[in-house]
Structures are given as structure tokens and as C-alpha cells.
């Protein structure tokens, strides 16, 4: 396997273990989502993917979305966002830009129109400050549509927003009145 593919496999396994299912590599997370670097390296090697500290540094530093962070003393590692397991990243509330974007599949629109944006299996709704990023996120789900979120107004009404270490905006839910939804013909309403 070439190095790029090897790194991608490791990164995917790390996302799974550090966000959703730590047991797949026999590790556990603390309340803030941190796992021991030594245990993570051991667990990934036991899955047949060769990993040492040096390569782990490369996986973290070279990750396209900066998905992972080391603790200050480099002994612990965690995912910066995207968790489905109940951990507390201990992020401080932050003031979002006036407009944020959410990319989703056109098929989700009827439910979003009815319920607003909900966090589904994750701990937060994920929002982007750039429509291009939202497009990439939404494309994973099907025919993509980009929703404009009135984050400034939502924040002004007391909804909390958080900015993850890798610059993803997180919030608990977005009620439908703060979303610009396209109609079926694709024009905005
Ligand atoms: C949709 C990736 C029906 C929502 C990305 C989305 C992101 C609803 C899907 C991160 C709904 C959930 C998160 C409602 C929301 N009814 N569908 N009421 N409310 N939805 O994957 O935001 O590459 O959990 O629109 O980059 O797509 O893995 O969330 O389509 O940052 O690092 O339900 O995951 O990061 O899907 O993606 P997801 P997401 P990584």
C-alpha cells in the first residue's frame, strides 16, 4: 500500500474510534474525548495497520480537515468534532458570523422544513463559514443543496454557538425560521 493510502486508512479508523466506537481498537475516551496516544497506537497496530509516533504526527499534521488534536504534553489525542458519543469538548461559546452554511441532501429537505436542522446521531449540528465547505459536506449525502443559516439572529436570540479547534461551527439545533430553504424548483424562499 502506498503511504497516502495507508495514512488515509489510519485516519478513517481514528475518526471511527475517536468519535463513535473506541472499542473497535480497544481504547477508551475520557469525559473530554481524550484517548491515550500509546493505547491508540497499540490498538491500530493490532488492527494490522502499522503506526508509530512519527507516522501519527504525520497523520494529524497532514489531515485535510485537521480532524485530530494532541494534548499539550502529546500523551493524549482526540477528535476535534463530529462525535456521536457523549463527551464534552469544553468549548467556550463564541459569536458566529452573521451567516453560516449547511450542506445537505435535497432528499432531507421535507424533514428539515418540518423540524429544522437537528443533530441526528452527532452531538451538534455542523455549520460552515464557507458555502464551498458546506457543499463538500452535503455531497456525502446525495444531491447537494446548500442552506443559508441566519446565525447572527439565532445567536442574538440566545442560542449558543461553538467553534471547534478545526473551525467547524457547532450548535444544538437550527429552527426552520432561521434557514433559507430552496423551493422544489431550486429558487430560494
Ligand atoms: C441532515 C463531516 C432530516 C443533515 C463533515 C445531514 C461535517 C436532517 C444529516 C461533519 C435533519 C446528518 C458532520 C432533519 C439535519 N431531518 N435530516 N430534521 N436535520 N439533517 O454526517 O453535517 O469528514 O451527521 O443535513 O465535514 O453532514 O467526517 O452531519 O445531511 O463536519 O470529518 O442529517 O462530518 O466531517 O449527517 O456532517 P451528519 P453533517 P468528516
pLDDT tens-digit readout, 62-121? 999 999 999 999 999 999 999 999 999 999 999 999 999 999 999 999 999 999 999 999
How far does the centroid of ligand 1 lie from the alpha carbon of residue 163, in Å?
16
- Whether 71 and 137 map to the same domain: the answer is no
Residue 63 belongs to a domain: yes
Domain termination site, one of 79, 109, 125: 79
**Residue 184 — very low, low, confident or very high, per pLDDT cuts 50/70/90?**
low
CATH number at residue 52: 1.10.10.970
What's the CA gap between 124 and 162, in Å, rounded? 10
Closest residue by CA, ligand 1 atom 18: 112
Per-residue pLDDT for 186 more than 70?
A: no
How far does the centroid of ligand 1 lie from the alpha carbon of residue 146, in Å?
12
Closest residue by CA, ligand 1 atom 28: 82
DSSP state of 61: H
Closest among 28, 170, 30, 128 to 88, alpha carbons compared: 30
How far does the centroid of ligand 1 lie from the alpha carbon of residue 55, in Å?
29
Closest residue by CA, ligand 1 atom 22: 126
> How confident is the model at residue 183, as a pLDDT?
67
- Whether 11 and 70 map to the same domain: the answer is yes
Q: Which long-range contacts (CB under 8 A, 24 or more apart) does 112-116 make?
A: 112/147, 112/176, 112/179, 112/181, 113/176, 113/181, 114/176, 115/176, 116/173, 116/174, 116/175, 116/176, 116/178, 116/179
Tens digit of each residue's pLDDT (9 = 90 or more) over 132-171: 999 999 999 999 999 999 999 999 999 999 999 999 999 9
Q: Are 37 and 74 in contact (CB under 8 A)?
A: yes
- Whether 67 and 138 map to the same domain: the answer is no
Residue 89 belongs to a domain: no
**Residue 1 — very low, low, confident or very high, per pLDDT cuts 50/70/90?**
low
Which value, in Å, is the radius of gyration of the alpha carbons in the chain? 18
> How confident is the model at residue 187, as a pLDDT?
40
What's the CA gap between 124 and 44, in Å, rounded? 27
Residue 186 belongs to a domain: no
CATH number at residue 117: 3.20.170.30
Range of the domain at 130: 100-180
pTM value? 0.92
Tens digit of each residue's pLDDT (9 = 90 or more) over 11-33: 999 999 999 999 999 999 999 99
Q: What's the length of the chain?
A: 189
What's the CA gap between 17 and 49, in Å, rounded? 14
> How confident is the model at residue 188, as a pLDDT?
47
Amino acid at each position: 500500500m502506498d503511504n497516502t493510502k495507508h495514512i488515509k486508512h489510519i485516519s478513517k479508523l481514528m475518526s471511527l474510534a475517536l468519535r463513535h466506537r473506541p472499542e473497535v481498537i480497544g481504547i477508551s475516551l475520557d469525559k473530554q474525548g481524550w484517548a491515550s496516544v500509546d493505547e491508540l497506537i497499540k490498538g491500530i497496530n493490532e488492527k494490522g495497520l502499522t503506526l508509530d509516533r512519527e507516522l501519527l504526527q504525520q497523520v494529524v499534521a497532514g489531515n485535510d480537515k485537521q480532524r485530530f488534536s494532541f494534548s499539550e504534553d502529546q500523551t493524549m489525542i482526540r477528535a476535534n468534532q463530529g462525535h456521536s458519543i457523549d463527551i464534552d469538548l469544553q468549548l467556550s461559546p463564541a459569536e458566529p458570523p452573521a451567516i453560516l452554511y449547511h450542506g445537505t441532501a435535497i432528499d432531507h429537505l421535507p424533514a428539515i422544513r418540518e423540524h429544522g436542522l437537528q443533530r441526528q446521531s452527532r452531538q451538534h449540528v455542523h455549520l460552515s463559514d464557507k458555502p464551498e465547505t458546506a457543499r463538500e459536506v452535503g455531497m456525502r449525502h446525495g444531491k447537494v443543496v446548500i442552506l443559508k443559516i441566519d446565525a447572527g439572529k439565532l445567536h442574538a436570540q440566545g442560542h449558543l454557538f461553538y467553534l471547534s479547534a478545526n473551525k467547524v461551527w457547532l450548535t444544538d439545533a437550527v429552527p426552520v425560521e432561521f434557514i433559507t430553504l430552496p423551493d422544489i424548483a431550486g429558487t430560494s424562499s
